[in-house]
Structure 1
């Protein structure tokens, strides 16, 4: 059986978002996070469609009216009512694979990052969307506990991940490293798994998701978080991670091209002062563009420049994500890409390649 996990730069039908609601942890900062999501939707719909799950019909009507006034094309906006716990579509959204030449959406089990947070609605969200006819590709539900932010694909059989997440006993305690690799092979077509033993951001609830630390930009290039401040408590682990990345090899034995992303000044929660996980690695690749989280920091422009070099030919779009890190994620965590051929009713004229 021919099977592979699409890379993020594969042509997309849409970006999936799960809209926050007042009863979630976003309640106290709802206006701020909605403003960030508004900016994301306006930016993304310049290039492709957006699928938004909302909690109730009233929110659906409000958003439809608001985005219409802002010039978002009606045909590029899909609003669907379904219950959710939180907004992190990267981790509860379906993961697109190519199986025998067809698109299939894998629906893995989501447990709120190892039962840290309620997730019963989020875990059923993909099935509820499928039941409403949202997807044109089949939805294949799996018992493996796996979040989209935990894995990176080069589109050629190589996965990049962290030991701290995928080998954590709070996910699949019955599986050792070999068994996890076997599951990734059978579910996602992984022929190689590259494991990072180091790297973590303070304030991160995910047990070191790879999408906060190191990302494939193409099959030969990895962008990574580089801490250049030896006095920062992150420095030892991130410097060790840099060494691990330098030692990695492509399938043909050549080293990867590594793109160092700058280290923003520490961001702290305004209420209790704990450190927040600001990272430029949490960018989002869409058709023809890359959305990059920014933090009103002096390093923002250097991050944008580094990613412009890593993604020639794509527009680079900054999105202020200071509101997002208040809940310990960033831009990429809010999103899930739906590959070309997976969303019902979409005209398949998207740009991009695999």
Structure 2
């Protein structure tokens, strides 16, 4: 029974969000991030349902009322109470694969990006949702440490990833590159690996997740984060990343169509001044649309135009993510798509 990792553009049942609680690191920014998540939920619900894990019953009641007041139909909301440590559903959410034409959800280990942050509740969240009947597809646990933001696929057996993350000893110590490739071949149906060895963002806690740097838009196209400011510390590593992307080939031997995303102005935390990881590569593909992180930056317009070229058949919708990068992630990091056939229907 071979598995095949779904590409993000595969038809979806829903997108999963994890709502932060007042005891999380989001506490000082809770009104700001809640407003952002409300916007994300409102936009997604125009196209498909939203599954939301909420930290407690009072929060569920408050957010349910708020979302319904915003006009989200009740049949587009699937709300569950499930404790979490943080809001990054991309990295603790289940990873969807096709098996014999049907979806299966794989629940990989999540350790807070190599033990940097508490993650026990996040690691248990997918099982908690499954126990509440959230999923129609089976949920299978895996002992490998793997975050959804670390991998990107063309849906045809090719994986785009970074050596800085997947081969980092803080994840699966003792496993070699060939060991990792063998596991992902068996569990995700990956036959070809495109390893990026360059590129990073200051303020990123993930050890260079691929979804901050370069993404498949279709099996022939990769959008990637560029940097045109020679004085910026990111210029050299992102230029090296671009050169490596230019060497990658499709299965037919042809080079990929590469779409360069513009470089936003440097963003800094208003409290301590550290650099924040603003990137346009952290977009989300849903049914009929692409949600693009924006930063109230002149480059937002250029990024929207670039993604419109990459996705001519989808609406491109900017989402202000200035609150999100305050906790060192962006839009895609907050979300996890659930492939068609994986979501339980309301009774």
Global fold match (TM > 0.5):
yes
Contact 1:92 1:123 in 2 (8 A): yes
Structure 1 vs Structure 2 CA RMSD: 0.9
For residues 206 and 311 of structure 1, the distance between their equivalents in structure 2, rounded to whole angstroms, comes to: 27
Whole-angstrom distance in 2 between the partners of 1:252 and 1:211:
25
Aligned with 1:238: secondary structure? helix
Structure 2 equivalent of residue 194 of structure 1: 194
Q: For residues 225 and 129 of structure 1, what CA distance do their matches in structure 2 show?
A: 34
8 A Cα contact 1:2 1:101, kept in partner: no
Deviation at 1:346, TM superposition (A): 6.5
Map of 1:19 onto structure 2: 19
Unaligned runs of 5+ in 1: 348-354
1:65 and 2:65 equivalent?
Answer: yes
The whole-number CA distance in structure 1 between the counterparts of 2:344 and 2:158 is 29
Query: Per-residue displacement from partner, 1:270-297 (whole Å, max 9, x unpaired)?
Result: 0000000000000000000000000000
CA distance in 1: counterparts of 2:231 and 2:241, whole angstroms: 17
**8 Å contact kept, 2:249–2:255:** yes
- Indicate if the aligned counterparts of 1:89 and 1:335 stay in contact, CA closer than 8 A: yes
Scaled by the length of structure 2, what TM-score is found?
0.99
The alpha-carbon deviation at position 199 of structure 1 amounts to 0.3
8 Å Cα contact 1:13/1:346 also seen in 2? no
Secondary structure of 1:317's partner?
Answer: strand
User: Residues 1-354 of structure 1 correspond to what in structure 2 (within 5 A)?
Assistant: 1-345=1-345
Say if 1:293 and 1:331, in contact at 8 Å, map to a contact too.
yes
Equivalent-residue separation in structure 1 for 2:66 and 2:284 (angstroms): 24
On the 8 A contact 2:152/2:210 being kept in 1, the answer is: yes
Distance 1:2 1:173 in 2: 26
| In 1, Cα distance between equivalents of 2:343 and 2:52 | 12
Distance in 1, Cα, partners of 2:210 & 2:64: 34
Displacement of 1:229 after TM fit? 0.9
Unaligned runs of 5+ in 2: none
Whole-Å separation in 2 of the counterparts to 1:122 and 1:20: 11
Contact 2:211–2:281 (CA<8 Å) still a contact in 1? Answer: yes
Residue pair 2:165, 2:209 contacting (<8 A) in 1 also: yes
Cα distance in structure 2, aligned partners of 1:224 and 1:68: 36
SS in 2 for 1:211: helix
Q: CA deviation at 1:174?
A: 1.4
Classify the secondary structure of the residue corresponding to 2:72: coil
Query: Would the aligned equivalents of 1:167 and 1:176 in 2 still touch at CA under 8 Å?
Result: yes
Question: Cα distance, 1:2 vs. partner?
Answer: 3.1
**Mapped partners of 1:265, 1:346: distance in 2:** 44
Judged with a 3 Å threshold, the aligned counterparts in structure 2 of structure 1 residues 224 and 346 are, in CA distance, closer, same or farther, namely: farther
CA distance in 1, matches of 2:186, 2:194: 16
Shift of 1:3: 1.9
The alpha-carbon deviation at position 19 of structure 1 amounts to 0.2
Alignment: residue pair count? 347
What is the TM-score with the length of structure 1 in the denominator? 0.97
* 1:229–1:235 contact (8 Å) kept in structure 2: yes
SS at match of 1:118: coil
CA distance in 1, matches of 2:31, 2:64: 17
